[in-house]
Amino acid sequence: MKALVTGGGGFLGGAIIRLLLAKGASVRSFSRGSYPELERQGVECLRGSLADKEAAAAACRGCDIVFHAAAKVGMWGRYEDFYRANVEGTANLLAGAAAAGLNRFVFTGSPSVVFNGAEVEGWNESAPYPASFDSHYSATKALAEQLVLKANAPGFATVSLRPHLIWGPGQNHIVSTIAETGKAGTLRRIGRANKLIDSTYIDDAAAAHWCAAERLAPGAPCAGKVYFISQGDPRPNWDIINMILAASGSEPVTKTLSYPTAYAVALALEASWFLAGFTDVPPLNRFVLKQLTTAHWFDISAARRDLGYAPSVTIEQGMEKLKDWFRSGGK
């Protein structure tokens, strides 16, 4: 198998590449940045932008399958920039893959495309897209996913995976942020609601992509479908934070800040963006507070059935690996 992977410089894309190489596949990476560590692993690295139709098409030629894990993430930025990266980029890659005669396309979607502000408790893939999205990211990932599903055809099989909250060794930034807050002061949790959330260990997020690739074929049960992916083991959200803190060698959070206090500070901080020189900041803190008070977990039986996906580790086992990673200095 020769696989084209986008987003190979990222956390999930990098894990997909490592898994593909371990499975004996030949891998080509297509991304804007330069990633010498991928080249050292024997990956053929092409640099370019998905906004460039011809470059996207050229990247597909000679491959058997596409894993499209690249996306513009976050809440900061203009809708048109998210649209260009997530929707137009996906459209260009789909067109390039079809033109090059590939017949499998595995898309990394996002569970946030179904979030509508309500508690997400055991939802399956019948959950509809909401009337309005909570961010430009979600809105454009939903549009991109619809393009992917619509492109599914007799000679071109597509599938979208929606892994929730991926974590694990190597996820430098966000895991470091949590570890850092643990060291920066007495970290406290916000509110007493300890909502259940799903999460996905990095190796299992990558494995889901491999499972999908193996099962995907024109006419296969998973062709043209979406699948939620997680460890299948929802936990209270601050328990997850505490496990990450423990893995990083910090004390767990025990004290609690009241939600009204947190909301007041969140507002005051947002009013102060201006004083810090920011001209264009979304209501990030209020968004986070809303997430903290909403459950987010899914029914992953469809992925188990159609993809043969099964988590390979428990959350505790994954945390042990994270701990080893922290202990070895995050290498």
Which residues of this protein are in contact with its own copies, per CB under 8 A? Answer: 11, 33, 73-78, 80, 110, 112, 165-167, 171, 173-175, 177-178, 180-182, 184-190, 197, 237, 240-241, 244, 253, 257, 261-281, 283-289, 291-292
Ranges assigned E (strand) in 54-103: 65-68
CB 233 within 8 A of CB 328: no
Task: Say which residues have a Cβ less than 8 Å from residue 198's Cβ, sequence separation at least 6.
Answer: 111, 164, 165, 228, 230, 231, 232, 233, 234, 296, 297, 298
To the nearest whole angstrom, how small is the minimum distance from the Cβ of residue 174 to its own copies?
Answer: 5
Which residue number, 78 or 150, has a Cβ lying nearer to its own copies? Answer: 78
Pick the closest to residue 207 from 304, 302, 64, 122 (CA basis). Answer: 304
Give the integer Cα–Cα distance in Å for 142 and 116: 13
What is the number of alpha carbons within 13 Å of residue 8 lying toward its C-beta? 32
To the nearest whole angstrom, how small is the minimum distance from the Cβ of residue 95 to its own copies?
Answer: 22
List the catalytic residues: 137
Which residue number, 79 or 153, has a Cβ lying nearer to its own copies? Answer: 79
Which residue number, 102 or 289, has a Cβ lying nearer to its own copies? Answer: 289
To the nearest whole angstrom, how small is the minimum distance from the Cβ of residue 268 to its own copies?
Answer: 5
Strand partners, 63: none
CB 197 within 8 A of CB 297: yes
Which residue number, 41 or 256, has a Cβ lying nearer to its own copies? Answer: 256
To the nearest whole angstrom, how small is the minimum distance from the Cβ of residue 254 to its own copies?
Answer: 13
Which residue number, 97 or 197, has a Cβ lying nearer to its own copies? Answer: 197
Characterize the bridge pairing of strands 166-167 and 235-236. unpaired
Task: Say which residues have a Cβ less than 8 Å from residue 99's Cβ, sequence separation at least 6.
Answer: 57, 60
3-state secondary structure of 46: strand
Tokens 């974590």 — which residue? 167
Give the integer Cα–Cα distance in Å for 117 and 245: 28
To the nearest whole angstrom, how small is the minimum distance from the Cβ of residue 30 to its own copies?
Answer: 17
